[in-house]
């Protein structure tokens, strides 16, 4: 874990417990299976999602075990979705490591993903809170339907901005929203506070995905670990591409490549245009607005190190420029 | 649904509610996704697993909504596992219909499977019973680890009978056990009754899988919908193959084909030997013993149409000869 990030400070102990919880999943008693699960769970992520649960609970004065259990469940679920995504996308590398599907085949990777989905659901049951458990399962539905919709929308250059926002909410924002929502529910917060914290997670999660989508058009292939314009090449239209379509209805490279015309050349043209016309800057502005909206949800929350850390985490999400 | 089967009689109304519950999952508000889910959910299965939950609850005098919700969750989970299994196995046909993976590709099929896993988990939350919800998630872990173990054991002709039994318990028996266990828990039964009903489901589920494994060596390709000896051809060793290895240590066709020697010829030799040496009959005896053990768990249960129906269901599981 990159403990250098300042927003970890108020929850160092709890994050350690989350890491221990992740490792405990590896002991199934089946040697070969344990090795496969280790390969997935051992990857050191930033644990942003569990940090949101833990900081929310800390800010609201909760000292129970619940938020640690939820934080662990949230990270397990995130790992399960990454595994299925990489399998579906035939990705070879994730966070600098060979993917399980590239090493063991798609069959094994799908089953280990199923196992991790189930392990996350068992972990959330340990909270003994039905509201949180139910929200968690609904989130898995959102995550998979968000991914499905992304696939159905391939090359659909006439999709609306609302459709894009709804899709990335499901694909990414829903788990952020559940992370903060559960932090509040498990702290015994009132409904207004829960709603505000849900709004915080939702807007921050959408901002996170918008930045992710922008990063696909920035830097070099070496920096981002995949070819620049990778989403566009696979027909997935994200905010910069949709802004380009909206603003330049005539002779548009995105529309052309969606129609199968000179794909490689048009990807290059589209990426150049995004940078030259200020579309990338404007996409960052959209993310920034979402971040401001997220932070506004914290306005009435009790002042504390944890609240300050949530604001820093929110900065961090936006600062992921290459 | 094949309502001709006699064990449905005491639970006609509840089974109808389960069918309605399955259909309700299709309404996600995303047209394309709904069509895909329909393709999977509309297949008319025998609903044996939900019948176990419903009959157990009926026998124990429960009239609440819980068992119907659980029955629906159990069938959704079963459909999700079938979908992932077919995707992993590259199967083209299931119950006479083209599989989703053959029509839409593995990517879509994996995601729709994830969606159905989640939908089943949401449905079980409606029971509001944490014990049942937790057991359900643990069962998903069992199902996926059972499938994983099957893959690790490919061509392992030295595996023990205990390993085989443990594996098919996880792969199949665990969901049967959870179906009957939950029926008892949701009826407010005492711990002894719950334990007995769990034992009923567990043994019946293992018997079900043993029969399934035997059927792979019976009939013609047309009758069973796949080539005879299909499991053996893919290196999956089931009860008849393991009995053959145990009894004929010398010049054994199963051992030979696991070592990659004249595979096609040795599959044919193995299948012939199974039938000529009484191995198939003995495998049926193992299933029959499991059924007797399952039925014994019902001994102290209150006499009723529902109890009678559970015994008929148990007969049905064994009578699935081609």
Torsion of CA A283, A286, A292, A293, to 10 degrees: -150
Cα-Cα end-to-end distance for chain B: 20
Q: Which of A88, A128, A147, A148 to mutate to test the interface with B (most CBs of B within 10 A)?
A: A148
Q: Could you tell me the CA-to-CA distances from B191 to B56, B116, B187, B297, B299 in Å, in that order?
A: 14, 31, 11, 13, 16
Q: What is the DSSP letter of B43?
A: S
The CA-CA-CA angle for residues B91, B93, B96, to 5°, reads: 160
For residue B125, the distance in angstroms to the closest alpha carbon of chain A comes to: 6
Q: Which of B122, B138, B143 sits opposite A122 (nearest CB)?
A: B138
Q: Which of B30, B117, B149 sits opposite A140 (nearest CB)?
A: B117
Can you give the pLDDT at residue A1? 43
Q: Does B84 touch chain A (CB under 8 A)?
A: yes
Residues of B with Cβ-Cβ distance to A128 under 8 angstroms: 130
Q: What is the DSSP letter of B305?
A: H
Task: From B236, B253, B235, select the one nearest B244 (Cα to Cα).
Answer: B253
Does the distance separating the beta carbons of A145 and B122 come in below 8 Å? no
Q: Does A87 touch chain B (CB under 8 A)?
A: yes
User: CA of A153: which chain B residue's CA is closest?
Assistant: B32
Does the distance separating the beta carbons of B32 and A144 come in below 8 Å? no
Q: Which of A101, A121, A126, A142 to mutate to test the interface with B (most CBs of B within 10 A)?
A: A121
Does the distance separating the beta carbons of B115 and A144 come in below 8 Å? yes
For residues B94 and B157, which has the higher predicted lDDT (pLDDT)?
B157
Task: From A80, A82, A78, A81, select the one nearest A93 (Cα to Cα).
Answer: A82
Q: Does B51 touch chain A (CB under 8 A)?
A: no
Q: Is residue B39 within 8 Å of residue B103, measured between CB atoms?
A: yes
Other beta carbons within 10 Å of A13: 9
CA distance B112 to B76: 12
Residue B93 backbone dihedrals phi, psi, to 5 degrees: -130, 140
Can you give the pLDDT at residue A322? 42
B22 occurs within a structural domain: yes
The alpha carbon of residue B19 and the mean position of all alpha carbons in its chain are separated, in whole angstroms, by: 18
Q: Which residues pair with B94 in a beta bridge?
A: B97
CA distance B290 to B193: 19
CA distance B63 to B187: 8
Q: Does B87 touch chain A (CB under 8 A)?
A: yes
The alpha carbon of residue B300 and the mean position of all alpha carbons in its chain are separated, in whole angstroms, by: 26
| CB interface of A with B, residues 100-159, below 8 Å | 106-108, 110-112, 114-115, 117-119, 121-122, 125, 128, 130, 133-134, 137-141, 143-145, 147-149, 151-152
Can you give the pLDDT at residue B207? 97
Residues of A with Cβ-Cβ distance to B130 under 8 angstroms: 125, 128, 130, 133
- Give one DSSP letter per residue of B79-110, joined into a string: HHHHHHHHHHTT--EETTEE-HHHHH-HHHHH
A1 occurs within a structural domain: no
* Per-residue tokens: B170: 């996880």
- A281 is in which domain, residue-wise? 6-318
Q: Which of B33, B88, B122 sits opposite A138 (nearest CB)?
A: B122
User: CA of B147: which chain A residue's CA is closest?
Assistant: A111
Residues B154-175: what's their mean pLDDT?
Answer: 97
- B49-97 pLDDT tens trace: 999 999 999 999 999 999 999 999 999 999 999 999 888 888 888 777 8
* Per-residue tokens: B161: 């009978």
Does the distance separating the beta carbons of A84 and B111 come in below 8 Å? yes
Does the distance separating the beta carbons of A107 and B121 come in below 8 Å? no
Does the distance separating the beta carbons of B121 and A121 come in below 8 Å? yes
Q: Which residues pair with A98 in a beta bridge?
A: A93
Does the distance separating the beta carbons of A87 and B148 come in below 8 Å? no
Can you give the pLDDT at residue A2? 46
Q: What does the H/E/C string look like for A3-35?
A: CCCHHHHHHHHHHHHHHHHHHHCCCCCCHHHHH
CB pairs under 8 A between A and B: 128
Can you give the pLDDT at residue B96? 77
Can you give the pLDDT at residue A39? 83
CA distance B95 to A110: 23
For residue A149, the distance in angstroms to the closest alpha carbon of chain B comes to: 8
Does the distance separating the beta carbons of B36 and A118 come in below 8 Å? no
Residue A93 backbone dihedrals phi, psi, to 5 degrees: -135, 140
User: CA of A88: which chain B residue's CA is closest?
Assistant: B107
CB within 8 A of B59, min separation 6: which ones? B301, B302, B304, B306, B307, B310
Can you give the pLDDT at residue B221? 60
Residues B152-168: what's their mean pLDDT?
Answer: 96
pLDDT over 60 at B3, yes or no: no
CA distance B250 to B243: 13
Torsion of CA A236, B86, A122, B203, to 10 degrees: 170
Does the distance separating the beta carbons of B88 and A152 come in below 8 Å? no
This prediction has a pTM of 0.92
For residues B279 and A86, which has the higher predicted lDDT (pLDDT)?
B279
Per the listing, tokens 């129906």 go with B309
pLDDT tens by residue, chain A, 322 residues: 444 688 999 999 999 999 999 998 877 766 677 888 888 887 778 899 999 999 999 999 999 999 999 999 999 999 999 999 888 888 888 777 888 888 888 888 999 999 999 999 999 999 999 999 999 999 999 999 999 999 999 999 999 999 999 999 999 999 999 999 999 999 999 999 999 999 999 999 999 999 999 999 987 666 656 678 889 999 999 999 999 999 999 999 999 999 999 999 999 999 999 999 999 999 999 999 999 999 999 999 999 999 999 999 999 988 875 4
Other beta carbons within 10 Å of B244: 25
Q: Does A9 touch chain B (CB under 8 A)?
A: no
CA distance B245 to A181: 56
Residue B225 backbone dihedrals phi, psi, to 5 degrees: 80, 5
How many domains is chain B partitioned into structurally?
Answer: 1
CA distance B4 to A313: 61
B1 occurs within a structural domain: no
CA distance B211 to B320: 7
| CB interface of A with B, residues 14-43, below 8 Å | 28, 30, 32-33, 36
Q: Is residue A37 within 8 Å of residue A109, measured between CB atoms?
A: no
Q: Which of B110, B133, B145 sits opposite A133 (nearest CB)?
A: B133
Does the distance separating the beta carbons of A137 and B121 come in below 8 Å? yes
Residues of A with Cβ-Cβ distance to B128 under 8 angstroms: 130
A240 occurs within a structural domain: yes
pLDDT over 80 at B7, yes or no: yes
A259 occurs within a structural domain: yes
Q: Which of A88, A140, A149 sits opposite B107 (nearest CB)?
A: A88
For residue B101, the distance in angstroms to the closest alpha carbon of chain A comes to: 12
Q: What does the H/E/C string look like for chain A?
A: CCCCCHHHHHHHHHHHHHHHHHHHCCCCCCHHHHHHHHHHHCCCCCCHHHHHHHHHHHHCCCCCCHHHHHHHHHHHHHHHHHHHHHHHCCCCEECCEECHHHHHCHHHHHHHHHHHHHHHHHHHHCCCCHHHHHHHHHHHHHHHHHHHHHHHCCCCCCCCHHHHHHHHHHHHHHHHHHHHHHHHHHCCCCHHHHHHHHHHHHHHHHHHHHHHHHHCCCCCHHHHCCCCCHHHHCCCCCHHHHHHHHHCCCCCHHHHHHCCCCHHHHHHHHHHHHHHCCHHHHHHHHHHHHHHHHHHCCCCCCCCHHHHHHHHHHHHHHCCCC
Mean pLDDT of chain B: 92
| Interface predicted TM-score (ipTM) of this complex, two decimals | 0.90
The CATH number assigned to the domain holding B245 equals: 1.10.600.10
A52: Cα within 13 Å, side-chain hemisphere: 32
């Amino acid at each position: 874990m990159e403990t250098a990030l300042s927003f970890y400070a108020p929850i160092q102990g709890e994050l350690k417990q989350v890491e221990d919880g992740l490792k405990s999943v590896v002991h199934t008693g089946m040697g070969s299976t344990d090795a496969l699960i280790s390969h997935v769970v051992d990857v050191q992520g930033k644990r942003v999602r569990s940090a949101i649960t833990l900081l929310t609970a800390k800010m609201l004065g909760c000292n129970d075990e619940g938020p640690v259990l939820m934080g662990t469940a949230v990270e397990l679920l995130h790992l399960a979705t990454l595994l299925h995504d990489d399998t579906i996308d035939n990705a070879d590398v994730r966070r600098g490591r060979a993917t399980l599907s590239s090493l063991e085949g798609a069959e094994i990777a799908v089953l280990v993903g199923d196992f991790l989905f189930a392990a996350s659901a068992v972990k959330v049951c340990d909270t003994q809170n039905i509201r949180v458990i139910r929200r968690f399962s609904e989130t898995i539905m959102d995550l998979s339907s968000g991914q499905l919709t992304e696939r159905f929308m391939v090359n659909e250059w006439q999709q609306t901005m609302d459709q894009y926002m709804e899709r990335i909410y499901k694909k990414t924002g829903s788990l952020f929203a559940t992370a903060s929502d559960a932090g509040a529910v498990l702290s015994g917060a009132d409904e207004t506070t829960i709603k505000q914290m849900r709004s915080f997670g939702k807007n921050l999660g959408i901002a996170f995905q918008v930045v992710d989508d922008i990063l696909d058009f920035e830097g070099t292939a070496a920096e981002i670990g995949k070819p620049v314009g990778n989403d566009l090449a696979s027909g997935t239209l994200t905010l910069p591409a949709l802004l380009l379509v909206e603003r330049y209805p005539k002779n548009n490279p995105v529309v052309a490549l969606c129609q199968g015309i000179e794909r490689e050349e048009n990807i290059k043209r589209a990426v150049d245009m995004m940078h030259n016309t200020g579309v990338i800057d404007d996409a960052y502005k959209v993310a920034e607005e979402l971040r401001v909206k997220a932070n506004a949800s914290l306005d009435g929350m009790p002042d504390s190190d944890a609240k300050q850390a949530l604001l820093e985490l929110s900065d961090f999400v936006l600062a992921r420029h290459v």
